Structure 1
């Protein structure tokens, strides 16, 4: 399973594709969504309310008031036929017993999206601070990027670098436990962030987000004229707003008006994609954490995952290493294998096994036979 989630990046990194789905792709999506929700000029004003007063200043005050204080729709009117029974879904005169849904979230959407995007980046930020470039120093110039680059010096000097790497790993056996535990914690933190984002967004949208995607896809094939569109229910394009002001004689005038919420044209599509992405990301992250738990609890699985990353001719050396290697040692080795060309990593495993074999003192300088490809 580790191979299935391996990224194609060639720079030395100490994470995996699931980790990168959080801090790279999801983080970028949230920032892009934040930008889209602020591009009001592309879709018109934030909100535009219909009033019976011919005054630009009065209309501006009404628009600002309704955008800040929120609008509302009547739940009973969402199931009626648009154009005959109601002018727009959920828009009409409410009765005393009617249930009213208030929409006060849209002015906060850009801020919430930005903060959520930052939260997806935080586990990676913690890991980079804790890791401190240690892995880059360990791997030297044996990473795929440097080894297969234009500089052939790394190819001819690989034996010296492999010996240096082998000596370092041998001296620091069982010495990277905190390094590994912090990485596992950051992986768990990724799961916490994505689950928290799902439930916080559901609360933010009035308890409608967790079922938003399934409700939208359920009505895709229905007649638009006779269906209740979930997008119009959660993100109404037209809603009502009540504005109170003093009249010429000092009495309170109540104006009940319809408002066009242009921002919801973008919001409804952003949150539909967000629902699909977060559901998939949660499922993938949960599966990855199950895999991570299995690698922690099952040493034979760790042995198998390391074996598939070396040439068959050094399988015995892998078994020799794993007899004494701890969980943190395995994590370091598996990350080295991701960042090194297979034959080079196999050479390192052979050299490393020599340092960890019982006959190290007598055979340390013995020349090994060439690797079989």
Structure 2
């Protein structure tokens, strides 16, 4: 009865055997989902009404539709000098007013490209993972067999009773392929470095896309949070103006050119300003975390004692001597395989494997293993 009850235990969290660590998943999973969701939100104009609505002063609906489409496609502008003035007394809205000859004018044409840019950036965050899966080809899952946490704690106890055979098979395979995982490891290190390149490139490209305002966007917003709303200049209204001006030229009834200088409500910026504020926080944190992880990765590459320590903390104290025996001959790529096996296996099962692997890796069995060939190739 007790065995039958244990056999019905199911793991609630889907833990798939994988080499990618948490930092890697922050890029290809969480960042990818965030960018795709943001790209979708920026296209849902019905949430905030019209994507842009300009005050033309003409009662014709068809003329108003033309003006709205024109201003959305050609872009709007704000006057830089008018951003620091008091709203409601000196200007109707931040940056909105008649420009003078010497005024610096900022044109806003980015908002029609925001969904496309967010989509492409989301794809870029997924690319390192795509490259790795193409190069790795499910090899790690084949190596670990059914010894991963998910399979070992599955719907029945079959894997528990068969673990000895699987551990012996895994031990023989790793022994036969010692120093044979170099390309596998180098490709993984390259994908980790590519994650850092993508997040840094995203930061600077977004800053260029928003006219050089993104790198300081978050700090500027948080700096004015506690100030009086009536006497502060909102940084979000400068980068993502909700009200801006648009100049529309058309022919009048007599054939002369008429110039209309109109105010436009850019409703999409109500969503954009929130998305890019969260995006700034996420990218800054992700860049810092990724940089720290790359420092850790560099230390593991350069310091063999650190690799030994990290592997020893993954096993039971009773097999620490076996770990030292293995690491005397293990290369960097062998360590990477072993440390990822430890991450995906239950601690006691991995300790059993280390004990078995140390037995196969002892000098007494070296000659026997040299005559055997590996069934798998990297």
TM over 0.5: yes
- Larger mean Cα displacement after TM superposition, 115-124 or 145-154: 145-154
User: Judging changes above 3 Å, is the alpha-carbon distance between structure 1 residues 312 and 7 closer, same or farther for their aligned structure 2 residues?
Assistant: farther
In 1, Cα distance between the equivalents of 2:375 and 2:352?
Answer: 9
| CA distances 1:66-100 after superposition (whole Å, capped 9, x unpaired) | 00110000111111111111100000011111110
**C-alpha contact (below 8 Å) 1:7/1:17 kept by paired residues:** no
Q: By how many angstroms is 1:158 displaced?
A: 0.8
Cα distance, 1:5 vs structure 2: 25
Q: How far does the alpha carbon of each residue in 1:211-258 deviate from its partner, in whole angstroms, 9 at most, with x for none?
A: 000000000000111111000000000000000011111111100000
State whether residues 6 and 16 of structure 1, in contact with CA within 8 Å, keep that contact through their aligned partners in structure 2: no
Aligned-residue CA RMSD in angstroms?
Answer: 4.9
- What secondary structure is seen at the aligned counterpart in 1 of 2:263? strand
Q: Answer whether contact 1:6 1:17 (CA < 8 A) is retained.
A: no
What SS class does the counterpart of residue 314 from structure 1 fall into? helix
Work out whether residues 162 and 351 of structure 1, in 8 Å CA contact, stay in contact via their aligned partners in 2: yes
Sort the Cα spacing of 1:88 and 1:162 in 2 relative to 1 into closer, same or farther, 3 A. Answer: same
* Structure-2 change in CA distance of 1:369 and 1:183 (3 Å): closer
Where structure 1 has 5 or more consecutive residues not aligned to the other structure, the ranges are none
Q: Is the 8 A contact 1:90 1:239 kept in 2?
A: yes
Q: How does 1:1-373 map to 2 (within 5 A)?
A: 10-360=15-365
Are the structure 2 counterparts of residues 166 and 7 from structure 1 closer, same or farther at C-alpha, using a change threshold of 3 Å?
A: farther
Please report how far the alpha carbon of residue 150 of structure 1 lies from its aligned counterpart in structure 2 after TM superposition. Answer: 2.3
Superposition TM-score, scaled by structure 2 size: 0.93
1:10 Cα deviation after fit: 2.3
Partners of 1:220 and 1:251 in 2: CA distance = 49
Q: Which aligned runs of 4 or more in structure 1 are off by greater than 6 angstroms? A: 4-8, 361-373
CA contact (8 A) 1:354 1:364 kept: no
- C-alpha contact (below 8 Å) 1:212/1:272 kept by paired residues: yes
Q: CA–CA distance in 2 between the matches of 1:217 and 1:7?
A: 39
- Aligned mates of 2:103, 2:91 — CA distance in 1: 15
**Aligned partners of 1:97 and 1:184: how far apart in 2?**
53
Contact residue 311 and residue 372 of structure 1 kept, 8 A: no
CA separation of 1:69/1:57 partners in 2, compared to 1, >3 Å: closer, same or farther?
same
Inter-CA distance 9–136: structure 2 relative to 1 (3 Å threshold):
same
Shift of 1:358: 1.6
Q: 1:254 to 1:95 in 2, by over 3 A?
A: same
Determine the C-alpha separation between the residues in 1 that align with 2:107 and 2:370. Answer: 78
> Residues 176, 8 of structure 1: CA spacing in aligned structure 2 closer, same or farther, 3 A cutoff?
farther
* Kept after mapping to 2: 8 A contact 1:7/1:16: no
C-alpha offsets along residues 314-339 of structure 1, whole Å, 9 cap, x if unaligned?
Answer: 00000000010001100000000001
Name the CA shift for 1:372/1:353 in 2 (closer, same or farther; >3 Å): farther
CA distance in 2, matches of 1:195, 1:288: 14
Mapped partners of 1:187, 1:27: distance in 2: 16
TM-superposed deviation, 1:372:
35
Moved more, 47-56 or 270-279: 47-56
Alpha-carbon contact 1:5-1:18 (below 8 Å) kept: no
CA distance in 1, matches of 2:192, 2:373: 39
Instruction: Provide the rounded CA distance (Å) in 2 between the counterparts of 1:282 and 1:72.
Output: 32
Structure 2, unaligned stretches of length 5 or more? Answer: 1-8
Q: In 1, are the aligned partners of 2:245 and 2:264 still within 8 Å (CA)?
A: yes
Q: Give me the whole-angstrom Cα distance separating, in 2, the residues matched to 1:74 and 1:371.
A: 66
Partner-residue secondary structure (3-state), 2:83: helix
The size of the alignment, in residue pairs, is: 370
Evaluate the alpha carbon distance shift between residue 49 and residue 362 of structure 1 in structure 2; reply closer, same or farther with a 3 A threshold: closer
Deviation at 1:365, TM superposition (A): 17
- Structure 1 stretch 13-22 or stretch 49-58: which is displaced more? 49-58
1: distance between equivalents of 2:105 and 2:375? 78
Asked if structure 2 preserves the Cα contact closer than 8 Å seen for 1:30 and 1:113, the reply is yes
Helix, strand or coil at the partner of 2:248 = strand
CA deviations on 1:140-194 (whole Å, 9 max, x unpaired) are 1111111111221111111111000000000111111100000000000000000
Distance in 2 separating the partners of 1:145 and 1:6: 7
Say whether the 8 Å CA contact 1:294–1:301 is kept in structure 2. yes
What's the TM-score once normalised by structure 1's chain length? 0.94
CA deviation after TM superposition for structure 1 residue 298, in Å: 0.4
Query: CA separation in 1, counterparts of 2:370 and 2:87?
Result: 86
1:23/1:143 CA distance change after superposition, 3 Å: same
